[in-house]
Amino acid sequence: MARELAAFIQKGGGLITVDDLSHYEVKEREAVRGTYRGFEIISAPPPSSGGTALIEILNILEGYDLAKYGRSARAMHLTLEAFRRAFFDRAELLGDPDFSKIPVAPLIDKKYAREWRESIDPAHASPSKDLRRPASFSQLEQFARLHPSSMRESQHTTHYSVVDPDGNAVAVTTTLNESFGSGVTVEPLGFLLNDEMDDFTVKPGVPNTYGLIQGPANAIGPGKRPLSAMTPTIVLKDGRLSLVLGSPGGPRIITTVANILMSVVDYGMNLQEAVNAPRFHHQWLPDEVYVERGTSPDTVAMLQQMGHHVVSEDYWSDAECIAIDLKTGERLGTSDVRNNGKAVGY
């Protein structure tokens, strides 16, 4: 297979060799872990940015009583400000941990989140260009100076969640990046080639396919793995399996999972309601709030009054999730109404 693959790529002008393929190995990495309002969050570590960004977002939001506000413009504003700050850190600090020092522990520290909260104006949007990392976290400031900031990921990823009758759970996100990857099928072998090179920082300050600005920690280099936004997540309550979450959606994967998790924990929705609810997204740059069709016009108007630049779009992502009834142990599969998937029991 390696010889056929390398020969096909070279025939098309590509650079990959049999020797390159022989040196590739799967990396097993320790999951990142955090907590949110009594739930334990277990998610994807670097070179995925998903778990780190998700936990940083939740840490910032844990300091607000979102349940009191409900799914209001005020709650959305606070959530968007948390998204903005996590994606700011993502752009400057995250990459392949085999090649760059990735400060995961400081980023998911609750003290760091408290410092970020102090910079959030509850009534006004923070201009992304004016964000400054909390000064007390000198380790991150020093890292950012050593790796100065530069700045789209695919909407055609697949996620599936599985829980067996014994309670073993997997959350799997896999991707070719853009739709059909590179658009090239390896003729003798019958599978598509990805276009994951777009997930690297091609040039500092230049957005990728999905508008993401990324830093030197994610620069292209031999043997490196590109930064991802995939966020397969398992949630425990009192040590027991509660939720299995994940979605495609490029950078919107992170905020999709956060939207669903908050809708269940903070807003009291069941998992299907949480998956169906209109989503919203901010990724630092471009400095825009994306909202799904169906978002209340009054909410949009209030966000605009706070200084957010709101862009209304069609639906995105495809969350395929499972909730466990902690009283009965029943598995409740949830498929996204935005697409044609379905939950299957066995």
Q: How far apart are CA 25 and CA 238, in angstroms?
A: 36
Q: How far apart are CA 258 and CA 274, in angstroms?
A: 10
| Enclosing H/E stretch for 33 | strand 32-36
Within 130-269, strands assigned E span: 157-163, 169-175, 233-237, 240-245
Q: How many CB atoms lie within 10 A of CB 50?
A: 28
Q: How far apart are CA 36 and CA 237, in angstroms?
A: 10
Q: Which two tokens stand for residue 123?
A: 């009534």
Q: How far apart are CA 254 and CA 246, in angstroms?
A: 9
Q: What is the DSSP letter of 201?
A: B
Helices (H) and strands (E) in the chain, counts: 11, 11
Phi, psi of 313 (to 5 degrees): -130, 170
Instruction: Determine if residue 75 is left, alpha or beta; phi over 0 gives left, psi from -120 to 50 gives alpha, anything else beta.
Output: alpha
Q: Which two tokens stand for residue 14?
A: 């590509």
Burial code (b: 16+ CB inside 10 Å, e: under 16) for 206-227 equals ebbebbbbbbebbbeeeebbbb
The SS3 of residue 37 is: coil
Q: How far apart are CA 140 and CA 227, in angstroms?
A: 18
Residue type at position 108 = I
Q: What amino acid positions are annotated as catalytic residues?
A: 157
Phi, psi of 172 (to 5 degrees): -125, 125
62 contacts 71 by C-beta, under 8 angstroms = no
